[in-house]
Amino acid sequence: MSLKRIREESKNNNCESTLKLARCFYTGTGVEKDVKKAFTYFTQAEKQGSIEAKTYLAFCYLKGIGADKNEKKAVEYYKDAAEKGEAVACYSYGLILKKGLYGAEKNLDIAKQMFEKAASLNNYAAKYEVGLINEAEGKKLAASSDTISKTKGNTLLNKAEMLFKEAADKGFIPAKYSLGIRYLTSTDKEKNKKALALFEDCSKESIPSADYAIAYIYDMGIGVQRDYWKSFEWYKKAFEGGYDKAIFNIIYAYMTGLGVKRNYTKAIDLCRDAVNKGVVEANYFAGICFKYGFSVNTNIDKAIELFEYAADVDYAPACYQLGLINDSYYGYNQDDEKAVEYYTKAYNLGSDDAGAELARINLDKNKQKALEQLRKAADANSIVGCELLANIFEEGKYISQDLSKALDYYQKAADLGSLTAAKAVVRMAKESKQTELVKKYKDKIIIKKDEEAYLDAARACSEAKDYERAAFWYAMCAEYAEDEDVKKRSVVALNKFQKDSNGLWTVTQ
């Protein structure tokens, strides 16, 4: 239809033609762009009965386009148009109520109704919002121990995924990202393979969290062949784009040599940046590596330096590690006063393990209070608390000997992941001739952390020139071995493995 015809029909009180004329001036289509004239025609179209024109007016008032900015009036126009069933207005008014914007009172229930109404009118942005609501509700219900709630939760999660897909198929980037996360965490391998393309689309829109997701996909080999070199480059891109948590992964790469040449100096320098960016976990990780010699030579002084960075910003695990290092009970720096200081800080920050260590230190001073604190720590699933109570009940030093309770606490600590406790369970179960218990926890020890078995597997893979698996088994042994000699041998062997620029594993003699 020609512009002349549109003008004529507009004069004849045709609201659709008036709306078209307003859009022409708004976008500069066929006429010189003039937002004031556009606003005038939007106003005329609204008076002629166009609900869509009311939505345009709401946006004009919100942004001050063609008229003075008036957020209150914008909200009123969005509300009125939404109540009359205009899809964009329903979505926009829903966002306003969801976030409590522009002086409107937050109302999640009405916001949900608005999104659902807009979604029923095929507004894909609204479908995405309904998907987010379903996903949040679904996760809570799916985590329930109640079968009915769990089933309802999974149904909501499936609905959320369906809505994300509908919006993503229309090119809505936030929906692509959410669908990517659903596919990435799915147990369906075919969905895993589709996640990468979704995140790549998001990455083109400069979304650093999508870059991080791509890095993670290559890092873990989810739906693709694992490639540490590609992973490192994407972690770098994510970090440079503002995704600060990626610094942890970059530090890990420099520490382990996975995806980049090992560079401990670079890793430590980045740890300082990590503290400034609030990623204290990176310092804690590097500190653990230096303390136990994981992929690096053991260096307690560097470990202390790194833990102190994190402790200064109240990171409880780092405070706890500094307590252990200064505790004469564990034979490091032997400064018990400083150990208590760090344990106390860690405990006040929520560390139940630190609370258990303080209880151990105070057993001779206030036995009853210390035992009560140990029980509290054990009830909170503190491995340290469980192991200490087990020792006390087995030895009968501060309380009447009770081998049954000792075994129970060792079992709990073992189930929480303690190799030492698992070995204690096997020892006590053998003494009391509990065959099934012996088998259960002996298998647990073998499955989790049989040091020589890991070494044998590493050697066999290396001889077969399967260097990737060999490196994996040496890394497992370096991390979990309790025998210091085994640990050192594993670290030396692990440091000989590298990936070349083609992504192929090699070994230096």
Check whether 485 has a pLDDT greater than 90.
no
Helix (H, G, I), strand (E, B) or coil at 111: helix
Model confidence over 316-369: pLDDT tens digits? 889 999 999 999 888 777 888 999 999 999 999 999 999 999 999 999 899 999
Mean pLDDT along residues 475-501: 67
- What is the DSSP secondary-structure string of 134-198? HHHHHHHHHTSSSHHHHHHHHHHHHHHHHHHHHHHHTT-HHHHHHHHHHHHT-S-HHHHHHHHHH
Model confidence over 182-229: pLDDT tens digits? 998 888 889 999 999 999 999 999 999 999 999 989 988 888 988 989
- The pLDDT, as a whole number, for residue 112 is 92
Encode burial over 343-379: b for 16+ CB neighbours within 10 A, e otherwise: bbbbbebebbbbbbbbbbbbbeeeeeebbebbbebbe
Average of per-residue pLDDT values in the chain: 85
For the record, the structure tokens of 139 come out as: 């996760």
Closest CA to 45 of 3, 13, 79: 13
Q: Give 448's pLDDT tier (boundaries 50, 70, 90).
A: very low
Cβ neighbors of 209 (< 8 A, separation 6 or more) are 177, 238, 243
- The pLDDT, as a whole number, for residue 64 is 94
Closest CA to 135 of 79, 178, 191, 183: 178
